[in-house]
Each structure stands twice: as C-alpha cells, then as structure tokens.
Amino acid sequence: MLDTLREQQRGRLITVFGVMVLSFDTLLVRLIDSNEWTLIFWRGFLPAAMLFIVQWFSDKKLITQHLLRPSLLTLITAGLFSASTICFVLSLNNTQVASTLVITNTAPLFTAVIGFFFLKEKLDKATIFAIIIAVGGIGLVFGYHPTIDELRGDSLALVSAIAIAVYLVALRKTEGQLGSIYIILAGVFTSIISLSVGAKPFALDMQHAIYMFLLGGVVIPLSFYLISHGPRYLPAAETSLILLLEVLFGPLLVWLIIGETPTVNVLVGSAVVVLTLSCLFACQWRKQLKAQSH
C-alpha cells in the first residue's frame, strides 16, 4: 500500500512538472516573431527529431518495423496529430491564449463521444451532463463579439480539439504502443506541409532561433515525455485533472510577461469549461479509487 502511494505521489509530481513545462509553449509561440508556417515547421520538426534520436538508441526495432513501413492506420493517426499541431499554432496566432487553451482542452469530451460511436464505449450520465455544460462554456468563448481573426482562431482551436480527440481514440485502439512513431511521423507531415505553403526555416534571427529551439527542442519533447509517464502511476481521470492546469498556467505566463489580458466572456467561458471538466474528472477519479479499494 505504501509503495502504491509513493508511486502515485511520483506520478503527480511528474505530471504537474510536465504541465508546468508545457505551459511555456503558448508564451514562446507569442515571443517568436516569424512567419506562422516557419514556426509550425520547427514545432513539428524539432520534437520529431529529438524523439527519433531517443527512440533510435532505446529501441531501433520499433523504427524499422513501424516508421519505415507504417500501416494505413498509423499514417492516419499521425496525420491527425499533425493537423492538431497546425491548427493549434494557427489558433494561437489569431486569438487569445485563454480561448485556444480552453477550447483545445475539451478534447477529452470529444474523445468520449467518438469512443461511444466507434469503440462502443459507454457514456455515463456525468459525462453527458459535462458535455452539455462545456458546450455552453465554449459558446460563451465564441460569444464575446470576436474579430474575424479571433473567430478564425477559436474555430481552429475547435478543429484542433476534435483532431486530438480522434487521435486519442486511434491511440486507444492500438493500446498506445506506437505513440512515439505517431509523433515522429506527424513531425514529418507537419514539416512537409509547412515547407509547401511558404515556411522559411532559416530566416530567424538569433534571439528567435533560441526561442524556437527552447520550444521545439526542450519544452515540447520534455513535457510530452513527462506527461506520458504520469499515467503509469496515476488513474486516467486524475491525470486529466492535472492537465487542466495548463489552462491556468499558460494564460498566466502570457499575462505576466506580455500583458495579454483575456476578455470577460473568455474568462467566464473558460471558468465554466474548467470547472465542468474538473468536476467530471474528480468524479471519475473517485470511482476509480472506490473500484481499487474493493
């Protein structure tokens, strides 16, 4: 019992630290002054390159079997992750950080709906209730009379959330065995798409190149590595609950350093969504703990 508690404590620390690292993602995107497709290129290429190196030295077999000869499902799943990355960055460049983060973090709810239809997973009453309230919260985020660019950004965030949800369902379908392969392939897809629409990877000055390396070479791979290890020690619901901290940390960092303040509607809508998801994940966590105690 003591060992289990220690492992859970370790899982909480790993996941919280991973979320705190990931929170610098939106700030660095704001600080990097470049063509948005150049930013997307490096945001896809650098994490993929770092992960490829790690995977090459830890398990070459996975690369030779699944990266060099990917199945159709692998390609589709990687394509969805690539789409979520592209839409996320484009969203951040067009709307408020808080809007992007709160909308993309509704992905677990879309995952539940898609899993219900395609994996025949049950939708309990709490999840259905949470989906209804969260939709209202998203409506508030969209309802603050946004500019055309902000409306485009909010819509892209919604597309990103749906793409992440489908990606998570595909990941569940394959039991998460090819997670690193999906991210590497997604990086390749993202890089190719970015170059084809005008990315200029070597047009950055030194300061923004440093920011770019911190974003793609440190923040994203390190946070993904930490967050992916947290669920080994924690119930899925608790992990999801901790991940919601990004919705708080991300806009806070941007506000403190850049001075970007969310509008009242975005704050209220964000609060509705975060509180709804928090209650849902807390209920799921409680059920899991009860199940484990019996």
Structural domain contains residue 3: no
Report whether pLDDT(72) > 80: yes
Structural domain contains residue 10: no
More confident position, 242 or 164? 164
**Tokens at residue 277, please?**
């998801």
- The structural domain count of the chain equals 1
Per-residue pLDDT tens over the stretch 92-145: 999 989 889 989 988 888 888 888 888 777 777 888 888 888 888 888 877 766
CA dihedral for 74, 16, 21, 94, sign (positive or negative): positive
Structural domain contains residue 81: yes
- Counting residues of the chain whose pLDDT is more than 70, the rounded percentage is 90
Structural domain contains residue 95: yes
* Mean of pLDDT over the chain: 85
Angle between helices 125-142 and 97-104 (to 10 degrees): 160
Report whether pLDDT(5) > 80: no
Domain that holds residue 255: 24-293
Q: Which DSSP helix (H) or strand (E) runs through 185?
A: helix 179-196
Per-residue pLDDT tens over the stretch 233-285: 766 666 777 777 888 889 888 988 999 888 888 888 888 888 888 888 888 77
Structural domain contains residue 2: no
More confident position, 44 or 175? 44
Interior angle at CA 267, CA 147 and CA 154, nearest 5: 40
Structural domain contains residue 5: no
Structural domain contains residue 260: yes
Structural domain contains residue 70: yes
**Which residues make Cβ contacts (< 8 Å) with residue 177, sequence separation at least 6?**
none
Average pLDDT estimate for 169-194: 83
Give the per-residue pLDDT at 206: 93
Q: How far is CA 293 from CA 4, 230, 248, 282, 283, in A?
A: 12, 21, 32, 17, 15
